[in-house]
Amino acid sequence: MPISATGARRREAGFTLVELMVVITIIGVAAAAVVLTLPDARGRPADDAEAFASRLVAARDLAIVSGHDIGVRIDAGGYGFDRRDEGWLPAAEKALQQRRWSEGVQALAEVEGGDRLVFDTTGLATPAHIVLERDGVRAGVAVDAAGGVKLDAR
């Protein structure tokens, strides 16, 4: 071991075992915090509600522009859009294709006077309230008779 001019021994360079254990513990705590704050990979019911509401607005606008009533079929598994021509036919527009709710999302639809929400050619609609739920978390979409579509935080 080299000795300095003052006669003191020089300390070897490196980390002690205690210093390494402290760093590893800090990294472990930080990694756990990151994992606990990651969003659910299945998405949130609010995300489904937001996407559904935007498609409802597109359906209302299409009903006005095209001059055809647009109907919305809603069930526990998803929703789809139909155009009334000489009967109800599936809508061909890409934004109005059949969609499924995210995994585990349950839907409860209350449509006034029937099972189909309809936007007519003036933009008026069948009043409806749709609630999406998964693991106790709820999100909703409300459609009023004037064709207004609103996200509903319950």
pLDDT digit string, tens, across residues 24-76 = 999 988 888 888 887 655 667 888 889 999 999 999 999 999 999 999 998 88
CB 94 within 8 A of CB 105: no
The answer to whether position 19 is within a domain reads no
Domain that holds residue 56: 45-152
Report yes or no on 7 lying in a domain: no
In a domain, 77, yes or no: yes
* Number of domains present in the structure of the chain: 1
Residue 18 within any structural domain of the chain: no
CATH value at residue 82: 3.55.40.10
The whole-number average pLDDT for the span 11-28 is 87
* Cα–Cα dist 128/132, whole Å: 13
Q: pLDDT digit string (tens) for 68-118? A: 999 999 888 899 999 998 889 998 888 888 999 888 888 888 888 888 899
Q: 78-84 and 88-90: which strand pairing? A: antiparallel
pTM of the model: 0.71
Judge whether 64 lies within some domain: yes
The verdict on residue 71 lying in a domain is yes
